[in-house]
Amino acid sequence: MTVVLVADPSHAAKIAAAADLDLSIEIITTGPGEGLPANAHEATALVPGFLAVADALEVLDALPALRLVQLMSNGADVWLPRVGGPLTICTASGAHGGSTAEWAMGALLAVLHDFPNFVAAQHRGEWDRHLTEELDGKRVLVLGAGDLGTQMRRRLEPFGAHITMAARTAREGVIAIGDVPAALPEHDVVVLMVPLTEATHHLVDAEFLAALPDGAIVVNAARGPVVDSDALIAELTSGRLRAALDVTDPEPLPTGHPLWSAPGVFITPHVAGAVPGGQARALKVVVEQLNRFARGEELQNIVADRGY
């Protein structure tokens, strides 16, 4: 019997209904403010709520039989200290890449075509006609060549952008992260789609930003701490660079933080994956993974070490 603790009761019935009936999978659940079920100590797999990270981390020590944590999100940064030993942690890669890439495309086009300023002019009742830019011909560097980065490339190609992909290690069509500094001066846009790890924390620092040409755009669809906020604010305030951010550091961005009022920045409140189909796609990944786990098959999307 494979006992799976599902932290969100609204997901438990859907997972139970979709699990392979030929496998012995028992779904148990708990809700906010509820204690763990009596047989929680037998659970070998845990499915945390989509954003209920703190609650899930708190119960790990009460689950001695746990062998798998299957996330519903792409990001696993807060789980990295738990990687190793008997515990396997897997992401829901493939569930949110499309919507995140759509956000990045929309945000990039909004900045290039100056939509935020046109909206502000509309609210003022002003006909502020002026030239803007286009994506066609722009040189775009996408940091991250997994599901998110691949989805981004697919959406950039029809717009006539010249795309460079970068990842931790080089392969055909992808440069290594170590080659990125030399490539920065040749790119008009940098799109961040990397996981947050020790290696990517403040990857985009003052030196990184200084290497970009005047007028370049930084699009952060990764995690806030991938970017040094102070360094970015300095470049935005000078008017040299622009940015589109779905994630920030700190997050949520507090009232009065200088990023809110910095010129040339478009900010959304971590909503790139907040679309109706995202949860259904994540649950599909979860069910497929639990079926594999129950059969003893190889799992996918494993967070193998601190560098992913």
Predicted confidence band of residue 110 (pLDDT cuts 50, 70, 90): very high
Higher pLDDT, 74 or 169: 169
Helix (H, G, I), strand (E, B), or coil: what is residue 186?
helix
| Residue 225 within any structural domain of the chain | yes
What residues contact 188, with CB distance under 8 A and at least 6 apart?
Answer: 138, 139, 140, 213, 215, 216, 217
Residues 44 and 106 in one domain: no
Residue 94 has pLDDT above 90, yes or no: no
**In terms of pLDDT, which residue wins out, 92 or 53?**
92
* Residue 129 and residue 144 in one domain: yes
Residue 307: its pLDDT value, please? Answer: 41
Residue with tokens 């709520």: 49
What's the rounded Cα separation, in Å, for the pair 84 and 99? 30
> Is position 40 within any domain?
yes
Looking at the fold, whether 242 and 120 belong to one and the same domain comes out as yes
Give the residue-averaged pLDDT of 39-48.
Answer: 92
Q: Are residues 255 and 119 in the same domain?
A: yes
State the pLDDT confidence band at 43, using cuts at 50, 70 and 90: very high
113/186 same-domain check? yes
Mean pLDDT for the chain? 91
CATH number at residue 69: 3.40.50.720
27-36, 176-185, 230-239, 274-283, range with the lowest pLDDT: 27-36
Same structural domain, 173 and 136: yes
Total-model pTM = 0.89
Instruction: For residue 306, name the pLDDT band (cuts at 50, 70, 90).
Output: very low
Are 189 and 281 in a shared domain? no
Question: Are residues 16 and 159 located together in one domain of the fold?
Answer: no
Distance between CA atoms of 5 and 135, rounded to whole angstroms?
46
Query: Once rounded to an integer, what is the mean pLDDT over residues 106-128?
Result: 98
pLDDT for res 184? 98
Q: Residue 159: what pLDDT?
A: 98
Q: Are residues 132 and 259 in the same domain?
A: yes
Shared domain check, 251 and 103: yes
Share of the chain above pLDDT 90, in %: 72
Q: Mean pLDDT, to the nearest integer, of 202-209?
A: 98
- What is the torsional sign of CA 30, 34, 40, 45? positive
186 and 79 belong to one structural domain = no
- pLDDT above 80 (res 142): yes
| Within-domain flag for 231 | yes
Q: What is the pLDDT of residue 35?
A: 78
pLDDT for 231 equals: 98
User: Does the residue 74 lie in any domain?
Assistant: yes
Return the pLDDT at 279. 87
Rounded distance, CA 56 to CA 20, Å? 25
Paired with 88 in beta bridges are 68
Average pLDDT rounded to a whole number, residues 9-29: 84
pLDDT value, residue 154: 97
Task: Specify whether 108 is located in the same domain as 155.
Answer: yes
Q: Which residues contact 38 (CB under 8 A, 6 or more apart)?
A: none
Residue 85 pLDDT level (bands cut at 50, 70, 90): confident
Q: Give domain status of residue 303, yes or no.
A: no
Chain-centroid distance, C-alpha 223: 6
β-bridge mates for residue 192, sequence order: 143, 220
Q: List active site positions.
A: 223, 251, 270
* Among 301, 276, 294, residue whose Cα is nearest residue 98: 276
- Percentage of the chain exceeding pLDDT 70: 94
Is 186 inside any structural domain?
yes
Q: How far is CA 282 from the centre of its chain?
A: 13
pLDDT of residue 52: 55
Q: How many domains does the chain have?
A: 2
Range of the domain at 70: 2-95+276-295
Q: Residue 306: inside a domain, yes or no?
A: no
Inform me whether the pLDDT recorded for 54 exceeds 60. Answer: no
Q: Alpha-carbon distance 22 to 48, whole Å?
A: 24
**pLDDT number for residue 308:** 34
Q: Is there a domain that residue 167 lies in?
A: yes
Mean pLDDT across the stretch 70-82? 84
**Cα–Cα dist 263/94, whole Å:** 34
In whole angstroms, how far apart are CA 79 and each of 120, 225, 270? 40, 15, 19
What is the 8-class DSSP label of residue 302? B
